[in-house]
């Protein structure tokens, strides 16, 4: 299990360092949309302390910092330094000085028990093999009366475009074809709720939220590929293979007049009982 965990962390770090430059592109606006949506569903008050794990470029950390104000603090942690650099720039552009973007391992943060008013994990918990263990660790750091928010993808994430992507990957490089995505373990209300209950959470709410990302042109889909976890597969290919994959994907979107892809999510939150 430890070897699996280390491999998962190394892959996530490499993937999102590669994706960082396009992570906030227009056709990837769903990252910010759902980061904002996660924060809006929490009862954050001025002066609160927040931990954001797997923070990326600050899609949830920045709105959380705006919500808690200058008397509050947000600690935003990610393995990908390129993502953190983008997050620092985003915070600076908004004049925010209450966010600490730091490189760290969300499975081994070392904060004391009951240290934060809220802990946020958006599109990250499924990267580790043992989600229950990680979720229990995040819950440990929530103060009595505080909240833990976990946001994950729904069952149709990136469809229909992603189906063409994987069909072409299978034809070009069958060794890179992925039959299973990590978020599929918790891509329904029922499976996410079971995981949270197994981790020991209480007072849990899981909300299914329908969403789509609009494409202004077929090239937008490829921007979404390179600004998401799919970029890892592209990065493993030879340049000619990647070019063939790009051309086939853009052609498929154009030929099928695809105007959007699915970005529906599951918003989960739990409140820790008062001591």
3-state DSSP of the chain = CHHHHHHHHHHHHHHHHHHHHHCCCHHHCHHHHHHHHHHHCCCCCCCCEEEEECCCCCCCHHHHHHHHCCCCEEEEEECCHHHHHHHHHHHHHCCCCCEEEEECCCCCCCCCCCCEEEEEEECCHHHCCCHHHHHHHHHHCEEEEEEEEEEEECCCCCCCHHHHHHHHHHHHCHHHCCCCCHHHHHCCHHHHHHHHHHCCCCCEEEEEECCEEECCCCHHHHHHHHCCCCHHHHHCCCHHHHHHHHHHHHHHHHHCCCCEEECCEEEEEEECCCC
Give percent above pLDDT 70 in the chain. Answer: 99
pLDDT of 13 strictly over 90: no
Q: Per residue in 31-65, pLDDT tens?
A: 999 999 999 999 999 999 999 999 999 999 999 99
pTM of the model: 0.94
Residue range 140-158: mean pLDDT, rounded: 97
Average pLDDT, the chain: 95
Q: Per residue in 101-112, pLDDT tens?
A: 999 999 999 999
67 vs 16, more confident? 67
pLDDT of 1 strictly over 70: no
Q: Per residue in 158-211, pLDDT tens?
A: 999 999 999 999 999 999 998 678 999 999 999 999 999 999 999 999 999 999
Domains of the chain, start order: 2-156+182-214+263-271 (3.40.50.150)
């Amino acid at each position: 299990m430890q070897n699996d965990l280390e491999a998962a962390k190394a892959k996530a770090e490499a993937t999102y360092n590669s994706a960082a430059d396009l992570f906030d592109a227009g056709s990837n606006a769903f990252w910010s949309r759902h980061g904002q949506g996660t924060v809006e569903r929490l009862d954050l008050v001025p002066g609160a302390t927040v931990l954001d794990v797997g923070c990326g470029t600050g899609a949830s950390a920045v709105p959380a910092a705006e919500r808690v104000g200058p008397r509050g603090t947000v600690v935003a942690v990610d393995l990908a330094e390129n993502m953190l650099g983008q997050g620092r720039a985003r915070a600076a552009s908004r004049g925010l000085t209450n966010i600490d973007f730091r490189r760290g391992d969300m499975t081994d943060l070392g904060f004391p028990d009951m240290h934060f008013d809220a802990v946020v994990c958006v599109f990250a918990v499924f990267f580790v093999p043992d989600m229950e263990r990680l979720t229990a660790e995040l819950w440990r750091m929530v103060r009595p009366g505080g909240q833990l928010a976990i946001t994950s993808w729904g069952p149709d994430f990136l469809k229909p475009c992603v189906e063409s992507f994987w069909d072409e990957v299978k034809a070009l490089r069958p060794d890179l074809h992925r039959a299973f995505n990590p978020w599929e373990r918790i891509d329904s209300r029922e499976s996410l709720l079971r995981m949270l209950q197994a981790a020991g959470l209480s007072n849990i709410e899981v909300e299914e939220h329908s969403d789509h990302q609009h494409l202004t042109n077929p090239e937008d889909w490829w921007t979404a590929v390179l600004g998401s976890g799919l970029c890892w597969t592209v990065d493993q290919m030879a340049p000619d293979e990647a070019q063939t994959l790009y051309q086939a994907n853009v052609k498929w979107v154009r030929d099928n007049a695809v105007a959007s892809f699915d970005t529906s999510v599951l918003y989960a939150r739990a409140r820790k009982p008062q001591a």
